[in-house]
Amino acid sequence: MRVGVLALQGAVHAHLGALQRIGVDSCPLRRPGDLDAVDAVVIPGGESTTMSMLLASSELLEPLRRFVADGMPIFGTCAGMIVLASEIEDGRDDQVALGAIDITVQRNGYGRQLQSFETDVALPETGTFHAIFIRAPRVIRVGGGVEVLAHHRGDPVLLRQGSVLVASFHPELTNDPSIHELFVNSVLRAGMAG
């Protein structure tokens, strides 16, 4: 199994490091053909408007849409969650929403950097996870068929629909591997089912 981390902009190395620490083979994705060589994709945190433009200019948008349509496993954190959402509030009009998971997110929904924070959130099975929220998107609508795996102050912050996992915070910035493991285990299960 090989996991590609979209490497157009953002916390790419943090995700590559997190995957490496749990023994998963990973690589950066920058060119259209790169997607053919991976079984799963991580879209990191960063600036979603920048990533959106670079997806188009790097000719990765169509391959990524096909990847989503094929039901391949994808994990998006923060900006990555925005890119994977079906609707975006307070985004740019030309911003990409892949519609991989049926949620509406409000960009910078928790405020600017001065309102950014860290806190513990409760995870099913594995206990608490220390979560860092940076100018984070807020999930303001959850469609049917979307599982909410964790909340913070009433807002969903970790969600899953089929093979798509999204977090409004940054599991790649802490040393706790449990959310990356959650993703990788779902990839392995999908592989065995297929």
Contact flag: residue 37 with other proteins (CB under 8 A): no
- Is 181 in the active site? no
Cβ-defined contacts of 156-159 (< 8 Å, 24+): 156/103, 157/121, 157/131, 157/133, 158/121, 158/123, 159/101, 159/103
Alpha carbon distance 104, 120 (integer Å): 24
Q: Which of 15, 152, 170, 180 is the catalytic position?
A: 170
Closer to other proteins by CB, 86 or 116: give it.
116
Q: How far apart are CA 69 and CA 133, in angstroms?
A: 29
Question: Is the CB of residue 29 less than 8 Å from the CB of residue 2?
Answer: no
Query: Which parts of 156-185 interact with other proteins (CB under 8 A)?
Result: 170, 173-174
Cβ 27 to other proteins shortest distance, Å: 13
One of 23, 114, 125, 192 touching other proteins (CB under 8 A) = 114
- Is 27 designated active site? no
**Under rule CB under 8 A, residue 65 binds other proteins:** no
Q: Applying CB under 8 A, which of residues 61, 132, 140, 188 lies at the interface with other proteins?
A: 132
Q: At what angle do helices 178-193 and 12-21 cross, to 10 degrees?
A: 70
Tell me which of 7, 42, 82, 184 binds other proteins, using CB under 8 A: 7
The single residue of 15, 78, 152, 180 carrying the catalytic annotation is 78
Question: Among 4, 34, 38, 135, which residue sits at the site for other proteins (rule: CB under 8 A)?
Answer: 135
Apex CA 92: angle with CA 33 and CA 102, to 5°? 70
Strands 117-123 and 101-106: unpaired
Our answer to whether residue 147 is catalytic in this structure is no
Burial class (CB in 10 A: 0-12, 13-18, 19+), 39: middle
Instruction: Give contact residues for other proteins (rule: CB under 8 A).
Output: 7-14, 30-31, 45-47, 49-50, 53-54, 57-58, 78-79, 90-92, 107-108, 112-120, 122, 128, 132, 134-135, 152-153, 170, 173-174
* Residues acting as catalytic residues: 78, 170, 172
